[in-house]
Amino acid sequence: MELGPAGGREAVPGSVVVQKRGLSGTDSRLRAGSEATPESRENRAGARSVKGSLSRNHSDAKASAASSGEGGLDRRLIMDVYPEIPSTDGCTSDVVAERYLVESKKSTAHAPLACGSQHCAFPLDGNHLCVWSPRGTSHQLLTLEGHHQLITAVVFGNQVDPLQLCSASQDCVIMWNVDDCRDKTLKGLTPRGTILGSLLQTVHCLRFSLDDRAVAVCAGNKISVMDVEKQSVLVELQGHQGSVTAVEFCPWQANILISVSEDRSFKVWDYCAGSLIYSSSILTGCPLLSLLISEENRQLVTGSADGQLWIFSLMERHHYHCVAHVDLRKKSETFSTRRMMAGQYSRPEDRQRHSRPEVDKKEEAEATFPVLSLAHCDLCPQDSQCGVFSSECTKCLWIGSPTALFIFNLASVELEAALHFKEFQSLSVQIAGSCAVMSEAMSPKAFCILSSMFGNKIAMLEISLAALLSFQKCPGAGRMLSVLASSCVLPTSPLYFGIIKENFTKPANTKKHAVRSAVEDRPLVFHAKIRSSGYTSAPHVTMFSPKTNIKRNSKRTSKFKNNYKCKEYSLEDFLPRSLSRQVAVAQESVAVHCLQYSGDGQRLACGLANHLSLVFDASLSGTPAAFSGHDGAVNTVCWSHDKKWLLSTGRDQTLRVWSVHRTELMLLLGPESFPKPITSAQFYYMDTFILLSSGSEFWLLKYHIDLCRDDIRRYKPKSRYKPIFRLPLTSGAEVTTLSAVNDFYSHIVLTAGRDRTVEVFDLNVGHSAAVIAEVHSRPAHQICQNKGSSFTTQQSLAYNLFLTTAVGDGVRLWDLRTLRCVRRFEGHPSRCYPCGVAFSPCGRLMGCGAEDRHAYVYEMGSSSFLYRLAGHTDTVTEVAFNPAAPQNLHHPA
């Protein structure tokens, strides 16, 4: 059916009055001192041509309206010509520009807005539909008339040619061909729409299918899927207990439709069969307002009226599990805190350039951000070396709220940018009732439509993504840190002690008499050699004479010595899926607190709660070697690079270094050695140092293992150590864990503090290099670096990745070069127990423990887990990958 004017079935364009609008405080002229650039002159010329075209249309429409007795419409269109909006800080004039401003007779508090790939649509005066395009001056504002009641929903089609536009009111649903309507308007003809159906209920939302052949019409708690060509209802879906607020078609499954409602749940439908596939539980106490489906991540994103954001996995066999739950208010505070703390360690000129005005803390604390709209956003880095996935654009979301726009990173579940309207005082709309955003791929600009909550204005904004990201870039983020050492060790560096030969000073009480010293070096019988009388032994008989001149087979010998190095780590079957072997570490039930494979992958060390440290063969066969001596549970075990020594720390506040071959204690650091208990320890700088944390400091120890035995005092190790460097955290907080690479020379040490920060230290210069604030909602209990393996190769930049984990806050992947979280893994339950994480040797996978008695395996390119490894009867607290074979080991608490 074709729609016409009020008395018939055809529509004529409405009349508009065009008024040119200047900057804030100067409506009739440009800001003093501004120069007309070629771009601004071209834009003003284009605006004048649009004005003339609209004026001619206005005169024609006015005459037509006068003949009908209506006298014209009382509204005005205020057009901006690319002004630069001044802000309170004076640094963001190139971030946002107000392109158009429309004033309507009706309230625009909750006006439905729509953005397509190249067009925007909004209702004017309640029942007039306006279409605007920022693509040059030839695309003037197009006004379509036909609805007799308030327009309540608007949506663009997914296809560009032809571009479809659907609008709905309480009386009917109309389909418009935008290109056809524009051509008819330019020719002086009357554009016409097609009525899909007449309704008696208020339509809250509309959505086209991917091929634009069907449209979902949501009225009340019912979803009607209509055939566009046949103008008939295909199916009606009912099941929600409240009004349906948003609906989306699944991009990779044509028969799947997902809806959210005021009943605070989402439902998954097979609309072709007319059946309900899945219904979620109640997510929050406020209605769900918006919905978006990410095809790249296979995820569903929905936002609520109280500023909460949920991300669910749509991958097969994941059963719609929740990937992340985000509070926008807290994320906004964290984003501001990180920028503020990063500015403390930047240069003065950077701090001045990135300074922001003071905001009322009470107002900021009470602010909420209802999620009015969600839209796709692709962020392509200007410098490909700054991003982790430099070859691809970062998949993000636009989040529209009444007071701000956010760019949200789906991978890291973090904010990339925040545009608060109050920071731009010249914007006509400071508090929005409705919001819609469009951003094309590989485009440096985005366009946003805002409707005023307390007025009758609708504003169109142009946002420069590059300027926004540059303005909100953390100060000092351009400093490129690297785990791989890129310079020689400085003479002033504490690591210089590992290059020169260190002479340990003996204690003062070690002076002894020369006679006693000479006697001490002899055996207990005080003779160099004792000969037997031989009267009880049989005479010597030569049984055989071995051949000593046989040339040995070097290949066989090398294969016997280290059979792991003969075969490179297999990348084709790097996914451990099946249970290979399971052993009990003790006869009674005992918790395993830590795990670590040796560098060659032949042995596995574990620390137990029963004060023992065990070393197994990699195949978990045979009897393990036991190391006893701790008076408390063993918290840490660490292999040396040469596989000769094993370091362990326990709750008895001691650090012990063991000889793996002798299973003997070689070095002991008692509780009196440090002012506070040791929280973490490891070998560092290719076994040159021992790195440990105690209290708010981390220590660098030079040690010496003495292999000479004292037969008289063999209970007392002769090895010794010497503290050569210590450094506290900048904030003075207690160190919870630390990490550094020992497999190759690296100057970087990572520490996590009780204040939820991660601090990066460069020991070549001997001070802090960077601080990452608000790493988790709780203090991180483990830092895991991508250390690789000698059996596989990785890109050099991959060693700059590291993982952090905290109780109740999942696992986060960080890039040392940008000091940014690049991905978040949150599909495993970890609410009460500290569960460990581990990198695979190839760097493609991450394994972690969970409280549901499973070990989870993630791929670095996805926030959703690949699979779960079952077999335990309690919480899995530690995981470890074999560096020489595709094996994953995990132990329960």
**pLDDT (tens digit per residue) in 498-546:** 665 554 544 444 444 444 444 445 554 555 555 554 545 555 545 444 5
Task: Tell the burial category of 776 from Cβ atoms under 10 Å away from its Cβ (0-12, 13-18, 19+).
Answer: buried
Q: C-alpha angle 490/491/493, rounded to 5°?
A: 65
The residue-averaged pLDDT of 834-859 equals 93
pLDDT > 60? residue 53? no
Cα atoms found within 13 Å of the Cα of residue 773, Cβ hemisphere only: 17
Q: How far is CA 75 from the centre of its chain?
A: 46
* Dihedral over Cα of 867, 870, 874, 876: its sign: negative
pLDDT at 478: 47
pLDDT at 198: 84
The Cβ of residue 357 has, within 10 Å, a number of other Cβ atoms equal to 10
pLDDT > 50? residue 408? yes
pLDDT > 90? residue 203? yes
The residue-averaged pLDDT of 451-456 equals 91
Q: How confident is the model at residue 693 (pLDDT cuts 50, 70, 90)?
A: very high
Determine what percent of the chain is predicted with pLDDT higher than 90.
Answer: 52
Class of domain 592-709+716-747: mainly beta
Q: Please state, in angstroms and rounded to a whole number, the distance separating the CA atoms of residues 345 and 294.
A: 37
Q: How confident is the model at residue 439 (pLDDT cuts 50, 70, 90)?
A: confident
pLDDT at 136: 58
3-class secondary-structure state, position 353: helix
Residue 775 vs residue 61, higher pLDDT: 775
* Dihedral over Cα of 647, 651, 654, 660: its sign: negative
Which one-letter amino acid corresponds to residue 794? Q
Q: Please state, in angstroms and rounded to a whole number, the distance separating the CA atoms of residues 470 and 447.
A: 18
pLDDT > 50? residue 836? yes
Q: What is the DSSP letter of 76?
A: E
- Residues 757 and 769 sit within 8 Å (Cβ to Cβ): no
The helix (run of H) or strand (run of E) holding residue 726 is: strand 720-728
The residue-averaged pLDDT of 558-586 equals 61
pLDDT at 519: 45
pLDDT > 50? residue 108? yes
CATH 2.40.128.630 in the chain: give the residue spans. Answer: 201-302
pLDDT at 889: 64
Average pLDDT, the chain: 80
Shortest CA distance to 705 belongs to which of 689, 721, 681?
A: 721
pLDDT > 50? residue 2? no
**Token couple for 719:** 């090895």
Find residue 460's DSSP bridge partners.
100, 449
pLDDT > 70? residue 551? no
Q: What is the CATH number of domain 201-302?
A: 2.40.128.630
Q: Indicate the pTM of the whole model.
A: 0.77
Shortest CA distance to 803 belongs to which of 789, 823, 788, 817?
A: 823
pLDDT at 84: 37
CATH 2.130.10.10 in the chain: give the residue spans. Answer: 592-709+716-747, 775-893
End-to-end alpha carbon distance in the chain: 69
**Domain 775-893 adopts which CATH fold?**
Methylamine Dehydrogenase; Chain H (2.130.10)
pLDDT > 50? residue 600? yes
The helix (run of H) or strand (run of E) holding residue 554 is: helix 554-561
Model confidence pLDDT, tens digit, residues 761-794: 999 999 999 999 999 999 999 999 999 988 888 8
The residue-averaged pLDDT of 36-50 equals 36
Residue 800 vs residue 707, higher pLDDT: 800
Residue 638 vs residue 8, higher pLDDT: 638
pLDDT at 116: 83
Going across the sheet that includes 414-420, the strands are: 373-379, 394-400, 404-409, 414-420
Q: How confident is the model at residue 397 (pLDDT cuts 50, 70, 90)?
A: very high
Q: Please state, in angstroms and rounded to a whole number, the distance separating the CA atoms of residues 812 and 820.
A: 10
pLDDT > 70? residue 280? yes
pLDDT > 50? residue 206? yes
Model confidence pLDDT, tens digit, residues 140-154: 788 999 898 999 999
Q: Please state, in angstroms and rounded to a whole number, the distance separating the CA atoms of residues 633 and 607.
A: 8
Q: Please state, in angstroms and rounded to a whole number, the distance separating the CA atoms of residues 636 and 681.
A: 7
Q: 144 Cβ partners below 8 Å, 6+ apart?
A: 11, 13, 128, 129, 130, 131, 167, 176, 181, 191, 193
Shortest CA distance to 684 belongs to which of 710, 718, 645?
A: 645
48-62, 80-94, 799-813: least confidently modelled range? 48-62
